[in-house]
């Protein structure tokens, strides 16, 4: 990295809640927030926003032109307002890069169903502009009266962290001084869940922890979806009031051998982690927040990559997917927030399974991993010093 970047504020919404204190208490409780929900044609395990939180988000629809927006866009607006209210950027220009893996899924499903029912193949006038990936950042920029660049993208499950990387690139280039970056995913829809089930990786587990992320003794895949949004306000240099510094970034891909899997030793993760750690004593990394989707191959390949990079005496390992499931394009943002909260509270959120029970002596340097379909990996190193 050319220069360290400060994370000066953050906000998220998920099954954990919206308030930082409440989110931390939920993490400390050690309880899974995954529940079985009926989706008409089938029921599925998911984690979702509370009814009260959805009511607050849906109040945005009373604003002119907001009533036809997809939940993924409304979630991004709601979350970005919270993060932006915590900074003092005044009338300074800033950029926005909030992505999503699936985008406006609920609206797309609705409009497509209307198209199939129409004898003449007609759809709603707003079907196209309200279902593009670009409208997530565009509406956030509009809502915050931004005059800077607004960018949306989809890089599957590494989308949020790629948004952070993009914000860093714009700041380091001198083209933008401030950036809001992250991801938003309103994934709890019938068609999205049906697609995940078709991959044969969705959890059928019962019991206290339906998603067994980093349980290396599981006998079946246990991925579970969860809806969430997470955004971060970034500034150049080391702001004295920062939450944490981004001191290293890494990214990598690997040749595709299958549409959804990565290599046995996750070559992409090995390269992204090494890039993020360039010039740093690896023994100083206290914690790795892993992508670990709860699948047998996904969890084991990432772990193998960590051993290749750090050896058997690796940092303490954790994940939050056993608590809130996999929020696809927002998941890297949720992991980044978890890392910052552990650093702020100097407390480690571990796993409820027998695997990887070690706890760090401190939480000052944390590596966060995310990867999308096909091995598109990102690693971000956070530091307090």
CB 164: neighbour CB atoms within 10 A?
28
- Supply φ then ψ for residue 380, to 5 degrees: -125, 130
pLDDT recorded at residue 272: 98
Q: DSSP 3-state assignment of 167?
A: helix
Q: DSSP 3-state assignment of 47?
A: strand
Task: Look at the block and give the residue holding tokens 């340097």.
Answer: 365
CB 361: neighbour CB atoms within 10 A?
8
- Break the chain down into helix, strand, coil percent, rounded to 5: 35, 20, 45
DSSP string for residues in 317-329: EE-SHHHH-B-GG
Assess if CATH 3.40.47.10 describes domain 5-383.
Answer: yes
How far is the first Cα of the chain from the last one, in angstroms, to the nearest whole number?
16
Q: DSSP 3-state assignment of 308?
A: helix
Contact indicator for 7, 238 with CB cutoff of 8 Å: no
pLDDT recorded at residue 365: 98
For the chain, how big is the Rg over CA atoms in Å? Answer: 20
Distance CA 43, CA 302 (A): 30
Q: What is the pLDDT along the chain (385 residues), one digit of tens a residue?
A: 778 999 999 999 999 999 999 999 999 999 999 999 999 899 999 999 999 999 999 999 999 899 999 999 999 999 999 999 999 998 899 999 999 999 999 999 999 999 999 999 999 999 999 999 899 999 999 999 999 999 999 999 999 999 999 999 999 999 999 999 999 999 999 999 999 999 999 999 889 999 999 999 999 999 999 999 999 999 999 999 999 999 999 999 988 776 556 888 999 999 999 999 999 999 999 999 999 999 999 999 999 999 999 999 999 999 999 999 999 999 999 999 999 999 999 999 999 999 888 899 999 999 999 999 878 999 999 999 8
* Cα-Cα-Cα-Cα dihedral sign, residues 164, 376, 304, 248: negative
Q: Quick one: DSSP state of residue 194?
A: H
pLDDT recorded at residue 259: 58
Report how far apart, in Å, the C-alpha atoms of 34 and of each of 24, 31, 101, 212, 290 are: 17, 9, 20, 11, 19
Residue 131 CA, distance from chain mean position: 20
Domain ranges of the chain: 5-383
Q: How many residues are recorded in the chain?
A: 385
DSSP bridge pairs for 349: none
pLDDT recorded at residue 255: 80
pLDDT recorded at residue 230: 98
pTM (predicted TM-score): 0.97
Number of C-alpha atoms within 13 angstroms, CB side, residue 358?
A: 14
């Amino acid at each position: 990295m050319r220069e360290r970047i400060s994370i000066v504020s953050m906000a998220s919404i998920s099954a954990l809640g919206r308030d930082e204190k409440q989110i931390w208490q939920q993490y400390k409780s050690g309880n899974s927030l995954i529940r079985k929900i009926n989706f008409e044609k089938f029921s599925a395990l998911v984690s979702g926003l509370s009814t009260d939180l959805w009511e607050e988000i849906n109040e945005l629809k009373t604003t002119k032109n907001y009533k036809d927006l997809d939940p993924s866009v409304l979630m991004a607006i709601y979350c970005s307002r919270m993060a932006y209210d915590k900074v003092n950027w005044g009338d300074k220009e800033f950029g926005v890069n909030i992505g999503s893996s699936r985008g406006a899924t609920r609206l797309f499903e609705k409009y497509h169903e209307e198209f199939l029912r129409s004898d003449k193949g007609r759809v709603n006038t707003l079907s196209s502009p309200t279902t593009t990936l670009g409208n997530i950042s565009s509406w956030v920029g509009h809502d915050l009266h931004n005059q800077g660049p607004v960018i949306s993208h989809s890089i599957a499950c590494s989308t949020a962290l790629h948004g952070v990387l993009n914000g860093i690139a714009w700041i380091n280039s001198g083209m933008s001084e401030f950036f809001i970056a992250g991801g938003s995913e309103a994934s709890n829809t019938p068609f999205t869940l049906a697609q995940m089930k078709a991959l044969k990786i969705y959890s059928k587990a019962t019991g206290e922890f339906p998603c067994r992320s980093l349980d290396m003794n599981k006998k079946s895949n246990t991925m579970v979806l969860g809806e969430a949004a997470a955004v971060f306000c970034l500034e150049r240099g080391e702001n004295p009031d920062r939450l944490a510094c981004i001191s290293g970034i890494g990214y990598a891909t690997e040749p595709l051998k299958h549409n959804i899997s990565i290599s046995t030793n996750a070559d992409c993760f090995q390269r992204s982690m090494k890039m993020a750690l360039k010039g740093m004593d690896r023994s100083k990394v206290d914690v790795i927040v892993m992508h670990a989707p709860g699948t047998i191959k996904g969890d084991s390949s990432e772990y193998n990559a960590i051993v290749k990079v750090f050896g058997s005496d690796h940092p303490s390992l954790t994940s939050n997917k056993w608590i809130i499931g996999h929020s696809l394009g927002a998941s890297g943002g949720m992991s980044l927030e978890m890392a910052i909260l552990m650093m702020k509270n100097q407390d480690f959120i571990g796993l409820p399974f027998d695997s990887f029970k070690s706890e760090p002596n401190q939480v000052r340097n944390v590596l966060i991993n995310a990867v999308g379909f096909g091995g598109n990996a990102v690693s971000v190193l956070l530091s307090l010093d």
